[in-house]
């Protein structure tokens, strides 16, 4: 088997990210709650996409790409961080975004404006149209280009979160539960595979914030990442739990999500976002209230970032 360290990786972020105990929240929820601060990954406003981009952009560079395309919704944190990373590495970012969400110059749109990024909107619900448009634009430019899928969620991007599980193990900490938001799947798949490899006894739960077939997506990404690593593991949907926190829809705030954002801000001075981490933390609160955790259980919540979305979408 290979390890994540056998793959090319460009240093864009600051790792390892800290793990902190949330004392007040632990008292309120009756279990031991910790947070993995991937909102502090050190590029832009931080967030989970930086781990994936360290692998994806290393691959782009190795292939000689000068232009980097990616996609997502109008307030995609992933698109903003891809643009920031591309700028830092001297590559040209082009974002072809779905015309979905807040397109005004707020939140991530404001940051993309500040970086002078070429942002285009496409009125489609099908990413296949967008990937075809990337090829059309890329060929017309006549410069070598690299396409990063929505959320950076392919096998190579998923390695970023396999490596995060390795990082948690190397921080010398054991957790009974590891909880994250699931939007395009790479983060959850990486953590679930990484837990299988490096964190025995840790159960991973993904809080779904969109309405895609996540069980299938997660298993597929876990298998593809395991194949990249030549890992001798049997992957199945038994390896993880999922919970639906989408509420009124992707990128539309939910009542429980907003309550979770408020609870974290009021008790810990820590800011979640309405699209991903607020909904995910609402799932953790619901599990605690249902008695899913013992008082002595150690529960690690992945703070995957999302500040840009908070300022655009609000609560
Ligand atoms: C993209 C994103 C997620 C979800 O990660 P996926 O790998 O796309 O499932 C969670 N939180 C934030 C803040 C994100 O931007």
Residue nearest to atom 4 of ligand 1 (CA): 183
Question: pLDDT tens-digit profile of 104-117?
Answer: 999 999 999 999 99
Instruction: Give the residue among 270, 280, 305, 311 at the shortest CA–CA distance from 50.
Output: 305
pLDDT at 314: 85
Question: pLDDT tens-digit profile of 36-79?
Answer: 999 999 999 999 999 999 999 999 999 999 999 999 999 999 99
Asked about 76 being catalytic, the answer comes back as: yes
Distances (CA, A) of 96 to 68, 146, 147, 299: 11, 13, 11, 37
Query: Which parts of 71-211 are beta strand (E)?
Result: 92-98, 118-122, 145-147, 177-182, 203-208
With cut-offs at 50, 70 and 90, classify the pLDDT of residue 306. Answer: very high
Question: pLDDT tens-digit profile of 252-297?
Answer: 999 999 999 999 999 999 999 999 999 999 999 999 999 999 999 9
Q: What is the whole-number distance in angstroms between the Cα of residue 183 and the centre of ligand 1?
A: 5
Ligand 1 atom nearest the C-alpha of 151 is 8
Instruction: Give the residue among 246, 51, 72 at the shortest CA–CA distance from 158.
Output: 51
Contact 109, 137 (CB under 8 A): no
Question: pLDDT tens-digit profile of 153-195?
Answer: 999 999 999 999 999 999 999 999 999 999 999 999 999 999 9
**Which pTM value belongs to this model?**
0.98
**Residue in 26, 76, 153, 304 annotated catalytic:** 76
Residue nearest to atom 15 of ligand 1 (CA): 77
Q: Is 154 in the pocket of ligand 1 (CB under 6 A)?
A: no
Q: Is 80 in the pocket of ligand 1 (CB under 6 A)?
A: no
Ligand 1 atom nearest the C-alpha of 153 is 7
Q: Residue 29 pLDDT more than 90?
A: yes
Q: What are phi and psi of 73, to 5 degrees?
A: -75, 175
Question: pLDDT tens-digit profile of 128-147?
Answer: 999 999 999 999 999 999 99
Select from 183, 250, 257 the residue to mutate for testing ligand 1; criterion: most ligand atoms less than 8 Å from CB.
Answer: 183
pLDDT at 251: 94
Query: Edge to edge, what strands does the sheet with 32-37 contain?
Result: 19-21, 32-37, 298-303, 177-182, 203-208, 240-244
DSSP β-ladder status, 32-37 and 92-98: unpaired
What average pLDDT does the segment 71-94 reach?
98
pLDDT at 315: 83
pLDDT at 313: 86
Cα–Cα distance, 73 to 286 (Å, whole number): 28
Q: What is the whole-number distance in angstroms between the Cα of residue 201 and the centre of ligand 1?
A: 24
Q: What is the whole-number distance in angstroms between the Cα of residue 165 and the centre of ligand 1?
A: 16
Ligand 1 atom nearest the C-alpha of 47 is 13
């Amino acid at each position: 088997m290979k390890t994540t360290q056998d793959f090319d990786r460009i240093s864009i972020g600051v790792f390892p990210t800290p793990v902190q105990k949330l004392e007040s929240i632990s008292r309120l929820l009756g279990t031991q709650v910790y947070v993995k601060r991937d909102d502090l990954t050190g590029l832009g406003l931080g967030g989970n996409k930086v781990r994936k981009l360290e692998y994806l952009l290393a691959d782009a560079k190795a292939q000689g790409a000068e232009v980097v395309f990616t996609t997502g919704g109008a307030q995609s944190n992933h698109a903003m961080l891809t643009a920031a990373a591309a700028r830092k590495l001297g590559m040209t970012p082009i974002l072809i975004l779905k015309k979905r969400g807040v397109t005004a110059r707020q939140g991530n749109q404001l940051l993309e404006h500040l970086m002078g990024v070429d942002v285009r909107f496409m009125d489609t619900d099908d990413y296949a149209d967008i990937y075809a448009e990337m090829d059309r634009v890329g060929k017309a430019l006549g410069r070598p280009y690299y396409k990063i899928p929505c959320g950076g969620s392919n096998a190579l991007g998923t390695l970023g979160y396999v490596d995060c599980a390795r990082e948690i193990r190397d921080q010398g900490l054991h957790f009974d539960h590891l909880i994250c938001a699931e939007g395009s799947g790479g983060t959850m798949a990486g953590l679930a595979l990484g837990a299988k490899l490096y964190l025995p006894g840790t159960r991973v739960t993904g809080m779904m914030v969109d309405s895609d077939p996540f069980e299938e997506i997660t298993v597929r990404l876990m298998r593809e990442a395991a194949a990249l690593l030549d890992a001798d593991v049997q992957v199945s949907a038994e390896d993880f739990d999922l919970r639906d926190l989408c509420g009124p829809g992707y990128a539309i705030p939910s009542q429980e999500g907003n309550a979770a954002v408020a609870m974290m801000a009021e008790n810990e001075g820590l800011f979640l976002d309405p699209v991903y981490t607020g909904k995910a933390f609402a799932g953790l609160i619901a599990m605690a209230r249902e008695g899913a955790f013992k008082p002595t259980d150690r529960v690690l919540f992945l703070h995957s970032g999302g500040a840009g979305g908070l300022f655009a979408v609000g609560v």
